[in-house]
Chains A and B, each alone.
Chain A
Amino acid sequence: MIATLFGILAFLVLGLIGVFRGRDANGIVYGASLGISAALGIVGLRALFGAAPATLVLPLGLPWIGAHFRLDALAGFFLLVVNLGGVGASLYGIGHGRHERDAARVLAFYPWFLATLNLVVVADDAFTFLFAWELMSVVSWALVLAHHRDPANIRAGFVYLVMASLSGLVLLLVFGLLAGANGGYAFTLMRAARPTPGIAGVAFVLALLGTGAKAGLMPLHAWLPLAHPAAPSHVSALMSGVMTKVAIYAFVRIAFDVLGDLSQWSAVVVLALGGATAGLGILHALMESDLKRLLAYSTVENVGIIFIGLGLAMAFRASGFAAGAALALTAALFHVFNHAIYKSLLFFGAGAVLSATGERDMERLGGLIHRLPQTSFAMLIGCAAIAALPPLNGFVSEWLTFQAILLRPALPQWGLKLMIPADGALLALTAALTGACFVKLFGIAFLGRPRSDAARDAHEVDRFSRAAMLGAALLCLLLGLLPGVLVDALAPVARELLGVRLAEQMALPWLSLIPIAAVRSSYNGLLVFLFIVLATSLTILAIHRFASRAIRRAPAWDCGFPDTSPITQYTGASFAQPIRRVFAASLLGARETVFMPPPGDMAPARIEKTLSDPLWEALYAPLGVWIAWLADRLNHLQFLTIRRYLAFVFVALVALLLALALWQ
């Protein structure tokens, strides 16, 4: 515990170094952050397997409460996630940070950001928690504005900060409700004071609102695709890979730990929102052509998947089926871990592309696999992992989630009866669309022929960035081969929150994964991988040995009339067009208008696609309009005559006197 706080302190100091030393502190800051994150990660690991949760109370914050810290298994796991992301981002930053234009801005806030991320996880009273929570938002806001000359970024930062404060204030209401009028703000007190079902319900809804707004749960996701891409790439990685996870930690902490038992309806709500978020998120991602925005939307999707898992866990717990709850929770947390890794990897890759070509728009990229071989390889792994392809890690968590869906205890509650299979279908759909989405990303940006000069003469990025990416890729593979390690590591968390745990996995023969029972379902990534490798190598060997290995390079065949101009390739938009027509037309109001010049007219034919975000138009736009309208109306009160103002005073006085007269 002490170690954690010292680490956080070290981060803060590091930030000051960043402030004062500026660019030349690049190596120091990122290097040190790497070290500290690694150390904190180990602390988290030890807490995960530690016997009793470590607690500590410091005389900070509100004295009569003090600042409570607690490092139990759940906190330990998320500490691990946070600092794993921190290690990767810092390693990447050592190299990537050199290209930063205003280095000082990033160097100052980056370590502070890490510090707040860690602080949220170990906080154990409402004040400390919200303190860290809001600070996390502010610091990341500053990081989003690192490239502040672009007005779009300023707007992104604004939307982000408002939504973040909304989440903070809503959580404040939650804690106010749980703490009661005389302010028992320590989580231990809140756990002890079992709230009535009504209060718990209200608190839960608000908590879902508050944490969802930070995690990017629809319909509160609007800020995410604006803010995450705006930040420097390794910060985007932290925001997408880690900060959203911290929000999920907050949800788990409140819904599973502080609030205690909840009704099944709460599970239905979570399942519904999770499913919608997953589906719509990936659909948005498919429509994007900006690499980082695409990744941000895919983050929304993954958050949705995680919430599906959590919703299942809540449903099973509410219907007294602890084993199933344990499985679902494990699946969700497994996905948390996975997403932290591969989303970081993908953002690193996007950052590498950005620094190599200066382009984020995939319509101007292409053929990068020749120019950035290692980056492309890492990205390929990342895309395959996030598309849930075996034998990589993404598949394992989705597989586990499906197993949880298939458990189907005797559910008394019809809402769940309908919602769980629906979520199953949505999950399947999401998985398929994710595949399409990342075929698009890799196929358009990295394969094919370069669509711009920038892409044509790009150069491979520095070795730190590559190390970060390849390391993450390796981790994706290893987790896919030996998922049992992580499942076992999650057992303490499940026991802590639900009282039961999954069976020990690493003891099983052939290291395969058997969540419930062998007859029910099993998966062995290691063997699948071995089979694939064996089959591939044997085939290649055999063919090259006994048949021909000769190869001749020639122009592309392309049915006999190859066109050398790269614009004849499929673009991202055209790749997504069929899916746009099938899904987005109804859900995102996608429209295509074809302009065909009359015969004889030399003008080129044009096709224009328009896309709209119904949620934004339904929720956010009207709000802005309404506020503006109100502000305009009230603004007249600034320009009245003194007599009018006197009249106000006069009327106020008379009104109060009248009230008094009537009251008596």
Chain B
Amino acid sequence: MHAISFDVAKILAGSLVLTSFLMIYQVRLLALLNVLGVHAFVLALAVAWQAHVQAAPELYITAAITLIFKSALIPEALRRIVVRLGLHREIENVTSLGLVMLAGVGLVALSLEVMLPVTAQADPLTRTDIALALSVVLLGLLMMVTRRNAVSQVAAFLSLENGIDLAAAGARGMPLVVEISIAFSVLVAFLVIGVFLFRIRERFDTVDMHALDAFRGDRK
């Protein structure tokens, strides 16, 4: 493999991480969803590039799935939900964004550090790919921890999923069946999310998780 393709892959993965940071930074719901779309789009590009580099046609399918579902349909659906629930132009107050960003940077450093000793026999492309995928996953988790609105938690979760997909794409010759079924299950998960958002809404008239916290069992 020649350097250029390697660099491109690197750049794409890196930009995925960057988008994750953007998501963490973005506090306005609708905007957040847009960023999510971008996130997925970058992922799709990365996967496609991997397909090209690895000359693995089935990866194109994955890329397509990602492009269609994750970057188009799901953000759109979420956008609809947000509108239906009247949450548009909702602004979350994330406590001390700066610190969160700093933690994010720390996480990226950690994931690189952890991946470092991975022996070179796994080719460098995979290596960096995995490292960045790991940081995307961690960032997604970090975002879930910092957000309290159901929708943005879902968005964070989806970005986490994207990280995993990136890793999957980096893995050569990952069987298609598995890819498909994984994608499928993610879809189901998303359906469940939708159902729940509405149920929660119907019970609690909000999707702010604070409302739920009041009803934790065993209080009385």
A interface, CB within 8 angstroms of B: 638-639, 641-643, 646-647, 649-650, 653-654, 657-658, 660-661, 664
State whether B141 touches A664 (Cβ < 8 A). no
Please name 15 further chain A to chain B contacts, defined as beta carbons within 8 Å, in addition to the given A646-B144, A654-B110, sorted by A numbering.
A639-B218, A639-B219, A642-B209, A642-B212, A643-B144, A643-B147, A647-B145, A649-B141, A650-B141, A650-B142, A650-B145, A654-B107, A657-B110, A658-B110, A660-B114
Docked-complex contact B216 and A643, CB < 8 angstroms? no
Counting CB contacts under 8 A, is B86 at the interface? no
Residues of chain A within 8 A of B113, CB atoms compared:
661
B218: chain A residues at CB < 8 Å are 638-639
27 CB < 8 A contacts A-B: A639-B216, A639-B219, A641-B148, A641-B210, A641-B213, A642-B213, A643-B145, A643-B146, A643-B147, A643-B148, A643-B209, A646-B141, A646-B144, A646-B145, A647-B145, A649-B141, A650-B141, A650-B142, A650-B145, A653-B138, A654-B110, A654-B138, A657-B111, A657-B114, A658-B110, A660-B114, A664-B117
Task: Give Cα distance in the complex from A580 to B147, angstroms.
Answer: 68
**CA–CA, A242 and B206, complex, Å:** 67
- CA distance in complex: A660, B134 (Å): 14
Q: How long is the Cα–Cα vector from A660 to B142 in the complex, in angstroms?
A: 20
In the complex, which residues of chain A have a beta carbon less than 8 angstroms from the beta carbon of B216?
Answer: 638-639
When distances are taken between beta carbons in the complex, the residues of chain B under 8 Å from A646 are: 141, 144-145
Cα-based distance from A641 to B110 in the complex (angstroms):
27
Number of residues on chain B facing chain A (CB within 8 A): 21
Residues of B119-167 contacting chain A, CB below 8 A = 138, 141-142, 144-148
Q: B residues bordering A, Cβ < 8 Å?
A: 107, 110-111, 113-114, 117, 138, 141-142, 144-148, 209-210, 212-213, 216, 218-219
Shortest beta-carbon distance from A649 to chain B in Å:
8
Minimum-distance CB pairs A-B, first 8 = A641-B213, A647-B145, A664-B117, A661-B113, A646-B145, A650-B141, A661-B114, A639-B216
Q: Which residue of A lies closest to B213 (CB)?
A: A641
Residue of A nearest to B157 (CB): A646
Please determine whether A661 and B148 come into contact, CB atoms closer than 8 angstroms.
Answer: no
Q: Closest B-chain residue to A638, C-beta based?
A: B218
When A and B form their complex, what is the total count of cross-chain residue pairs whose Cβ atoms lie within 8 Å? 41
- Minimal Cβ-Cβ distance residue in B for A647: B145
Residues from chain A with Cβ under 8 Å of B142 in the complex: 650
Chain A residues near B219 (CB, 8 Å)? 639
Contacts of A641 in B (CB 8 A): 148, 209-210, 213
CB distance from A518 to the nearest CB of B (A): 76
CB distance from B112 to the nearest CB of A (A): 10
CA distance A371 to B60 in the complex (A): 102
- Which of A638, A657, A660 is the most central at the interface, judged by chain B CB atoms within 10 Å of its CB? A657
Residues from chain A with a CB closer than 8 A to the CB of B147 are 643
Contact B114 A653 (CB under 8 A): no
Bound together, the chains give a CA A642 to CA B196 distance in angstroms of: 15
- Collect the chain B residues with CB atoms within 8 Å of residue A653's CB: 138, 141
Q: Which residues of the partner chain A approach B117 to less than 8 Å between Cβ atoms?
A: 664
B213 cross-chain contacts in A, Cβ below 8 A: 641-642
A657, B210: Cα distance in complex, Å: 30
Q: What is the bound-complex CA distance between A657 and B107, given in angstroms? A: 10
**Closest chain B residue, CB of each to CB of A641:** B213
A638 to B216, CA, bound (A): 8
Task: For A657, give the chain B residue with the smallest CB separation.
Answer: B114
The distance in angstroms between the C-alpha atoms of A657 and B112, with both chains bound, is 11
Q: Which residue from chain A places its CB closest to the CB of B216 in the assembled complex? A: A639
Bound complex: CA of A643 vs CA of B213, how far in Å?
A: 10
- Complex CA distance for A643 and B147, rounded to whole angstroms: 8
Report how far A641 CA is from B147 CA in the complex, Å: 11
> Which B residues are CB-close (under 8 A) to A650?
141-142, 144-145
Whole-angstrom CA separation of A661 from B112 in the bound complex = 10
A660 to B118: give the CA distance in the assembly, Å.
Answer: 12
| Complex CA distance for A647 and B156, rounded to whole angstroms | 14
Give the residues in chain B near A638, CB-CB below 8 Å: 216, 218
Q: What separation, in Å, do the CA atoms of A340 and B30 have in the docked complex?
A: 83
A572 to B209, CA, bound (A): 66
Residues of A within 8 A of B145 (CB): 643, 646-647, 650
CB distance from A250 to the nearest CB of B (A): 41
Bound-state CA distance A82–B125 (Å) is: 78
Q: How far is the CB of B110 from chain A (nearest CB, A)?
A: 6
Q: How far is the CA of A647 from the CA of B147 in the complex (A)?
A: 11
User: Once the chains are docked, how many angstroms separate the CA of A638 from the CA of B111?
Assistant: 31
Most buried by A among B114, B145, B219: B145
Cβ distance B160 to chain A, nearest Cβ, rounded Å: 11
The smallest C-beta distance from B5 to any residue of chain A, in angstroms, reads: 29
> Which chain A positions have C-beta within 8 A of B141?
646, 649-650, 653
- Do B210 and A661 touch across chains, with their CB atoms under 8 A apart? no
User: Chain A: which residue is nearest B107 at the CB level?
Assistant: A654
Distance in Å: Cβ of A648 to nearest Cβ of chain B? 9
Residue of A nearest to B209 (CB): A642
A56 to chain B, nearest CB (A): 51
CA distance A649 to B213 in the complex (A): 18
Minimum CB–CB distance for A235 against chain B, Å: 38
Taking CB atoms, residues of chain B closer than 8 Å to A647 are 145
Chain B neighbourhood of A657, CB < 8 A? 110-111, 114
Q: Bound state CA distance, A643 and B156, in angstroms?
A: 12
CA gap between A643 and B216 in the complex, in Å: 13
How far does the alpha carbon of A653 sit from the alpha carbon of B216 in the complex, in Å?
25
**B212 contacts across to A, CB distance below 8 A:** 642
Distance between B143 CB and nearest chain A CB, rounded to angstroms: 10
A649: B residues at CB distance < 8 A: 141
B36 to chain A, nearest CB (A): 18
Most chain A CB neighbours (cut-off 10 Å) among B107, B111, B141: B141
Shortest distance between the CB of A658 and any CB in chain B (Å): 7
Interfacial chain A residues near B210, Cβ < 8 Å = 641
Which residue of chain B lies nearest to A664 when distances are taken between CB atoms in the complex?
Answer: B117
Q: How far is the CB of A642 from chain B (nearest CB, A)?
A: 6
A609 to chain B, nearest CB (A): 43
A649 to B157, CA, bound (A): 14
CB distance from B105 to the nearest CB of A (A): 13
Residue of A nearest to B217 (CB): A638
Q: How far is the CB of A581 from chain B (nearest CB, A)?
A: 52
Residues of A within 8 A of B148 (CB): 641, 643
Q: Which residue of B lies closest to A644 (CB)?
A: B145
B209 and A661 contact, CB distance less than 8 A? no
CB distance from A598 to the nearest CB of B (A): 53
C-alpha spacing A203/B113, complex, angstroms: 48
- How far, in whole Å, are A167 and B65 apart by their CA atoms in the complex? 63
A582 → B minimal CB distance (Å): 54
Shortest beta-carbon distance from B88 to chain A in Å: 23
Closest chain A residue to B212 by CB distance?
Answer: A642
Bound state CA distance, A140 and B114, in angstroms? 57
Inter-chain CA distance A638–B213, complex, in Å, is 11
Shortest Cβ distance from residue A420 to the other chain B in the assembled complex, whole angstroms = 58
**B114: chain A residues within 8 A (beta carbon):** 657, 660-661
A661 to B148, CA, bound (A): 31
CB distance from B146 to the nearest CB of A (A): 8
B contact residues around A642 at 8 Å (CB): 209, 212-213
Measured between beta carbons, the chain A residues less than 8 angstroms from B110 are 654, 657-658, 661
**CB-based nearest B residue for A658:** B110
- A639 CA / B212 CA spacing, docked (Å): 11
